[in-house]
Structure 1
Amino acid sequence: MLERIHLVIIREVHRQGSLTAAAGALYLTQSALSHTVKKIEQQLGTPIWDREGRSLRLTQAGQYLLSLAERLLPQFEHAEARMKQYAEGERGTLRIGMECHPCYQWLLKVVSPYLERWPDVDVDVKQRFQFGGIGALFGYDIDVLVTPDPLKRPGLRFDPVFDYEQVLVVAEGHPLAGARYVEPEQLLDETLITYPVETDRLDIYNQFLRPAGVAPRRHKTIETTDIILQMVASNRGVAALPRWLAEEYADRLPVASVKLGKDGIAKQIFLGTREADASVDYLASFVAFARDGNVPSPRLRG
């Protein structure tokens, strides 16, 4: 019979790469862990690992169980932590997943008053998820997903919290800086700087360039907003960012915002949560803070 401890051992051996390291992490002797590993395989009737010297490599059956462990164990751990919070009268930790790179500045404006209102709640922010944002919600790796691209799934809800306009950001001295709006063809000779996100998920590609059959001369990715805008200000490229963010930086950097197309690109930020958590008061409060608090919501400009 498959037991939880079997999944814990499979996950830890995979994480550590060897029985010796896994035994230390699990507070077991190596001989005790080796005996347990053999017992697991005997009980399940199939090899879970291939031995390669001192290393272990998961078999196909082992890979399946590892995938199962990585889906189920976080849910057990989350449930245990929640029960402990109930037992001790604590609120716990609100884990926020980010699928919106430029939203950190916005998040800070929400988190600060939220922490004042909920002194017993800690906030943790995660950006990379093993199964993506939706999978992280289902797998209880996070409690809230901040995303501009909600994917409707049974058991999840997405609340819109603010509207914004996606604009092209250029250096003040750039030829496009004084334009009312930019057409896709005007980016043919440009270096487009974006966050390291698949182009299929970038609005400037999906809603602006690809419908016109246009690609920029070069596409460069940079992790941080500050460096992206420093590069733009130095005329090393152009970037597509929320207008509210571009205008915040325009106070200290020589950059300008230009509408993408005559009608612009209107977007929304959503918070995704699990429907099963609807009664969790501090989580519902965070959504309310994000929706009703002092967050940027500029109108599209002509």
Structure 2
Amino acid sequence: MMQIKQFRYFIEVYQQVSFSRASEKLGISQPALSKVIAQLEEELELQLFDRSTRQLQITAEGEAMYEYAQKVIREVEDFKQAAVDLRTKHKGHFRFGLPPVIGSSFFPKVISAFQKQYPDAKMGIVEEGARVVQQSILHGELDVGIGILPIPDTELEVIPIVKRKLLLVVSNEHPLADAKKVKMSELKGEHFLLFKRGFSLYDRVREASIDSGFEPNVIHESTQWDFLLKMVKENLGVSFLPETIVEDSNQTGIRAIEVDHPLIHWNLALISRKNGYQSPATTAWIDYVKAYFKEETEY
């Protein structure tokens, strides 16, 4: 009969691609680890690792079984957490993934108000880009997070909460500074200052540029919106920022202009793993955020 231990050991060997390194991580002897993996392979009637070469190789069967093993472990962790929550009567801890640019725009007040109302709900905030947040939720590393729509992954529960758009930001000295609206095609040949590749904001701007017939000339990428604004003020290039960031920033020396063809949406959603276990604290947070932003999604 297969045991949870076998799945944990298999995952560690897979991630380390080494029996010796995995045994050190797990705190067991290498022979004992090899025996457990061999027993698992025998029960599955599959070879998970190729040991015939000097460097351990993961077989195609091993690659396929890795995702299933992770799911098993997540289900076990959910089961254990459910028991803890039952014992502690609605006290709980949850991990909330928050992209930095979104966090500064919307969430300090929300988090503060929530924690006053639910002092026993302990929130761990993890700041990562929207793409990383999405993957971390799927892998069980985060419980809930904020994503940027559209989110096509069918394994995620998606609750829209905020509707906004991206604005073009230029220096007062830029030729477009007095324009009320611009078309994306007018920006061909401009120097772009964007959020780092891997951020959803980067993808939004690049997709809009390509739809308008050109590949953007990105001369700098950053994770800090205030640094991008400073570079724009020096007329080193143009950037795109959410309208809430622009409204909250010092606009001296810059102009914010709407792009109307195409309009670049920046719509946010609360995301969690579909059918995954949610602690009472997680559920309270999701309900609180939905209620807080209810008016945002009704216009």
Q: Indicate the TM-score class for this superposition, using the shorter chain for normalisation.
A: 0.7 to 0.9
Structure 1 residue 210 displacement after superposition: 3.6
Give the residue type in structure 1 aligned to 2:49: W
Aligned to 1:202, the other structure's residue is in SS state helix
What is the CA distance between 1:181 and its match in structure 2?
Answer: 1.3
* Residue equivalent to 2:258: 259
Letter in 1 for 2:125: D
Is the contact between residue 170 and residue 255 of structure 2 (CA under 8 Å) also seen in structure 1? yes
Q: Contact 2:145 / 2:272 at 8 angstroms: preserved in 1?
A: yes
SS at the partner of 2:267? strand
Identity of aligned residues (%): 21
Unaligned 5+ runs, structure 2: none
Q: Where does structure 1 lack aligned partners over 5 or more consecutive residues?
A: none
Instruction: Confirm or deny: 8 A CA contact 2:133 2:147 kept in the other structure.
Output: no
- Does the 8 Å contact 1:278/1:284 carry over to 2? no
Partner residue of 1:73? 73
Give the aligned partner of residue 127 of structure 1.
Answer: 128
Equivalences for residues 188-267 of structure 1 within 5 A: 188-195=188-195, 196-197=197-198, 202-206=203-207, 208-218=208-218, 220-250=220-250, 254-261=253-260, 264-267=263-266
C-alpha displacement of 1:180: 0.8
Aligned counterparts of 1:128 and 1:248: Cα–Cα separation in 2: 21
Corresponding residue of 1:148: 148
Using the TM superposition, name which of 59-68 and 23-32 deviates more.
Answer: 23-32
Q: Could you say what secondary structure the match of 1:177 adopts?
A: coil
**1:39 Cα deviation after fit:** 2.5
**Contact 1:169/1:241 (CA < 8 Å) preserved in 2?**
yes
Aligned length: 294
Q: Does 1:273 align with 2:250?
A: no
Secondary structure in structure 1 of the residue aligned to 2:119: coil
Other structure's SS at 2:51 match:
strand
Q: CA deviation at 1:13?
A: 1.4
Post-superposition shift, 1:55? 4.5
CA RMSD of aligned residues (A): 3.6
2 CA distance for matches of 1:225 and 1:75? Answer: 38
Aligned counterparts of 1:279 and 1:12: Cα–Cα separation in 2: 26
Partner Cα distance (1:220, 1:235) in 2: 13
Name the amino acid aligned to 1:103.
Answer: I
Letter in 2 for 1:26: L
What TM-score do you get using the length of structure 2 for normalisation? 0.79
- Cα distance between partner residues in 1 of 2:164 and 2:147: 13
Q: Secondary structure at the match of 2:289?
A: helix
SS in 2 for 1:68: helix
1:174–1:235 Cα contact (<8 Å) kept: yes
* TM-score, length of structure 1 as denominator length: 0.79
Match for residue 180 of structure 2? 180
Distance 1:86 1:124, change over 3 A: farther
